[in-house]
Amino acid sequence: MEKFEVNILGCGSALPTTRHQATSQVLNIREKLFMIDCGEGTQVQLRRSRLKFSRLNHIFISHLHGDHCFGLIGLISTFGMLERTADLHIYCHAELERLLSPQLEFFCKGMSFQVIFHPFNPGEKKVIYEDRSLTVETIPLRHRLPTCGFLFREKPTPNHINREMIDFHGVPIWMMNRIKNGEDYVKEDGTVVPNSVLTYPSDPPRSYAYCSDTTFLPRIAEQVKEVTLLFHEATFAESEAVRARQTLHSTAREAAQIAHNASVGQLLIGHFSARYEDEAVLLQEAKEVFPNTLLAYENQRICL
Amino acid sequence: MEKFEVNILGCGSALPTTRHQATSQVLNIREKLFMIDCGEGTQVQLRRSRLKFSRLNHIFISHLHGDHCFGLIGLISTFGMLERTADLHIYCHAELERLLSPQLEFFCKGMSFQVIFHPFNPGEKKVIYEDRSLTVETIPLRHRLPTCGFLFREKPTPNHINREMIDFHGVPIWMMNRIKNGEDYVKEDGTVVPNSVLTYPSDPPRSYAYCSDTTFLPRIAEQVKEVTLLFHEATFAESEAVRARQTLHSTAREAAQIAHNASVGQLLIGHFSARYEDEAVLLQEAKEVFPNTLLAYENQRICL
């Protein structure tokens, strides 16, 4: 099966600790890398992950809090020193370009590649990236400033050919693509060989949803329905539910509630408040609602 | 003796590695903290050092390459979240304020403290900070853009009173400060008791010089003459001397040559190129010229 991996570079929240890095994740989808958020220190974590810098061409920024974007200038600057040539595409709120441009002009003058900003409206659900095998859609969230999550979805792939049955029924080569795409085969005598006889179903498309930072927002469930893996922030335990509400963050239980309502395959929680010495309490509270829950940790790699 | 400590938070060079952090150091001088440079990731290193954030009021930036200043915005932003109230003073090239201000306005709006920039001319040797016990002077360096080092120098302290001799000669209390400051005591009968009889000499003033980044610049030696500890960049080994010259950096041997010419107490080398898997070769080459040389490393603490 083609690669679809989630790499956690950092899963802490706003206040840095020696236990958790600021937020960043990298998806490896068929050897293309997609970064989500880029907190301070991300470039070192990326190096630690041994993912290839040169395969990263797309960065998605959920919102403009420092713990989600302060690592960008360092990462871009390092790309410059490494004499990268491929364009780097950054998908973000329009404001980021205004904030980053003076620094890019000063620190990255004469770089051998372009940084191309793709502004989007975080309040609107929209496909902001698409290639042959993948779409990325924004997930409008509710936080202290405009924020959205991202839904990565593989496109359905053609069925696999059942070579033996193709030979048995004498299907000609030139029909092969049509068979893969679901057509039946009609013999010269009019006999119909149904597609299901000639093919094996392909693997179901995989999907990953990233929802951070956000207050508990039940309507998310609809958009992330049955995703393979849902990352949802779980900044606080239930004992801090009031603080979660005030700061527009979620509790672990609320994250699990979204996972449950959306019948996702698996839930990954992160963006842990610095107050937790370990996150066992968060995991336990989430599992009570949605048993198939994992804690994020730095340098974690999950294969979908 | 009052505290005079050098804490190495990071001693790598421009390209980040998993072995070395970007440049930053913190001096703890009588429980006041002074930061020199602030590369990406400094705030986490500061936390790791267990130095008290609240005691840091002064930051000195040598030059505007990213590996010496990209950590500032994150550090300041975190100070904001911690509801710091004391002003934060940043001593730097004038350009930094222009570059940082839009980010401060956006990311640190409504902070409970002021960031006060103190621009200086890196080409000019000048005292840019002074308090009761300390001066900080710029050391003009030569690099690819305006750069200077910093010379931290304790002020001489008064002599210590020799209590027994004071009593023996019947020196009155009201003369005590004058005695500490070096006066002789003249008795009523005209006998002179020399100051050296009445006091012990105080500890000699300690000093720390930070020279990074710079090409080999023999004139530095004069300004850092006999400092207690000299930090000098040693980006390259002799085998890369040409590259050192091209990039306006120094070799370990050149750093040692400055230390030797200046007859410093001890040399600390750092700002290691990412190409060195370990820095033994740099240490060896430096020691051949100046035996009392140390390699910098992260979380190192040196008491002067």
Task: Answer whether B101 touches A (CB < 8 Å).
Answer: no
Residue B114 to residue B76: CA distance in whole angstroms: 10
- Dihedrals phi, psi of B205, to nearest 5 degrees: -60, 140
Complete DSSP assignment for chain B: ---EEEEEEE-B-SS--SS-PPSEEEEEETTEEEEE---TTHHHHHHHHT--GGGEEEEE-----HHHHTTHHHHHHHHHHTT--S-EEEEE-THHHHHHHHHHHHHSTT-SS-EEEEE--TTS--EEEEETTEEEEEEE--SSSS-EEEEEEEPP-PPEE-HHHHHHHT--GGGHHHHHTT--EE-TTS-EE-HHHHEEPPPPPPEEEEE-S----TTHHHHTTT-SEEEEE--B-GGGHHHHHHHT--BHHHHHHHHHHHT-SEEEEE-B-TT-SS-HHHHHHHHHH-SSEEE--TTEEEE-
Q: Could you tell me if A199 and A180 are in contact, meaning their C-beta atoms sit under 8 angstroms apart? A: yes
Nearest chain A CA: its distance from B112 CA (Å): 17
Write the pLDDT tens digit of every residue in A92-136. Answer: 999 999 999 999 999 999 899 999 999 999 999 999 999 999 999
ipTM of the complex: 0.91
Cα B79 to chain centroid distance, Å, stands at: 22
- Residue B69: per-residue pLDDT: 98
Residue B12 to residue B276: CA distance in whole angstroms: 10
Strands B115-119, B88-92: parallel, antiparallel or unpaired by DSSP?
A: parallel
- DSSP state letter for A227: -
User: One-letter amino acid identity for B10?
Assistant: G
Task: Answer whether A266 touches B (CB < 8 Å).
Answer: no
A residues 179..238 contacting B (CB < 8 A):
none
Residue B61, number of CB atoms within 10 A of its CB: 24
Q: Could you tell me if A4 and A208 are in contact, meaning their C-beta atoms sit under 8 angstroms apart? A: yes
Residue A281 contacts by C-beta under 8 Å, 6 or more apart in sequence? A237, A252
Query: E strand or H helix at A148, and its extent?
Result: strand A148-154
- Dihedrals phi, psi of A91, to nearest 5 degrees: -105, 120
Nearest chain B CA: its distance from A98 CA (Å): 9
- Residue A16: per-residue pLDDT: 84
Write the pLDDT tens digit of every residue in A168-184. Answer: 999 999 999 999 989 99
Cα B192 to chain centroid distance, Å, stands at: 42
Nearest chain A CA: its distance from B65 CA (Å): 7
pLDDT of A1 above 90: no
Q: Using DSSP, state whether A70 is helix, strand or coil.
A: coil
Q: Could you tell me if A25 and A1 are in contact, meaning their C-beta atoms sit under 8 angstroms apart? A: no
Residue A252 contacts by C-beta under 8 Å, 6 or more apart in sequence? A234, A236, A237, A238, A269, A281, A282, A283, A285, A286
Long-range contacts of A196-199 (CB under 8 A, 24+ apart): A197/A162, A197/A165, A197/A169, A198/A161, A198/A162, A198/A165, A198/A166, A198/A169, A198/A171, A199/A159, A199/A160, A199/A161, A199/A162
Q: What is the mean pLDDT of residues A148-173?
A: 93
Write the pLDDT tens digit of every residue in A12-52. Answer: 999 988 899 999 999 999 999 999 999 999 999 999 999 99
pLDDT of A162 above 90: yes
Nearest residue of chain B to residue A13 (CA atoms): B78
Residue B195 to residue B35: CA distance in whole angstroms: 39
- Length of chain B (residues): 304
Task: Answer whether A174 touches B (CB < 8 Å).
Answer: no
| Residues of chain B found within 8 Å of residue A14, distances taken between Cβ atoms | 81
Residue B163, number of CB atoms within 10 A of its CB: 9
Interface residue of A18, A24, A70, A79 to substitute, partner B, most B CBs within 10 Å: A70
| Residues of chain A found within 8 Å of residue B44, distances taken between Cβ atoms | 16-18, 21, 40-41
- Residue B38: per-residue pLDDT: 98
Angle at A222 between CA A218 and CA A224, to 5 degrees: 100
Helix axes A42-49, A72-81, angle to 10 degrees: 60
Complete DSSP assignment for B203-238: PPPPEEEEE-S----TTHHHHTTT-SEEEEE--B-G
Q: Using DSSP, state whether A193 is helix, strand or coil.
A: strand
> Which class for B258: exposed (0-12), middle (13-18), buried (19 or more C-beta within 10 A)?
buried
Which residue has tokens 């995703």? A227
B7, β-bridge pairs = B26, B301
Residue A37 contacts by C-beta under 8 Å, 6 or more apart in sequence? A23, A24, A25, A60, A61, A62, A68, A69, A212
Residue A183 to residue A70: CA distance in whole angstroms: 51
| HSE (side-chain half, CA atoms, 13 Å) at B303 | 5
Q: Could you tell me if A86 and A54 are in contact, meaning their C-beta atoms sit under 8 angstroms apart? A: yes
Residue A46, number of CB atoms within 10 A of its CB: 24
| Residues of chain B found within 8 Å of residue A98, distances taken between Cβ atoms | 102
Could you list the pLDDT tens digit for every one of the 304 residues in chain B?
A: 889 999 999 999 999 888 999 999 999 999 999 999 999 999 999 999 999 999 999 999 999 999 999 999 999 999 999 999 999 999 999 999 999 999 999 999 989 999 999 999 999 999 999 999 999 999 999 999 999 999 999 999 888 999 999 999 999 999 999 999 899 999 989 999 999 999 998 889 999 999 999 999 999 999 999 999 999 999 999 999 999 999 999 999 999 999 999 999 999 999 999 999 889 999 999 999 999 999 999 999 999 9
Nearest chain B CA: its distance from A17 CA (Å): 6
B102: its two tokens: 């839009």
Task: Answer whether A99 touches B (CB < 8 Å).
Answer: yes
Residue B212, number of CB atoms within 10 A of its CB: 29
Query: E strand or H helix at A231, and its extent?
Result: strand A229-233
Nearest residue of chain A to residue B45 (CA atoms): A18
pLDDT over 70 percentage in chain A: 100
Residue B302, number of CB atoms within 10 A of its CB: 17
- pTM of this structure: 0.92
Residue A216 to residue B273: CA distance in whole angstroms: 47
Nearest residue of chain A to residue B106 (CA atoms): A99
Which residue has tokens 């395959």? A265
- Dihedrals phi, psi of A47, to nearest 5 degrees: -65, -45
Peptide bond into B213 cis (omega under 30): yes
Does the distance separating the beta carbons of A107 and B103 come in below 8 Å? no
Write the pLDDT tens digit of every residue in A185-207. Answer: 999 899 999 999 999 988 899 99
- Dihedrals phi, psi of A209, to nearest 5 degrees: -115, 135
Q: Using DSSP, state whether A290 is helix, strand or coil.
A: coil
Peptide bond into A213 cis (omega under 30): yes
| Residues of chain B found within 8 Å of residue A18, distances taken between Cβ atoms | 44, 47-48
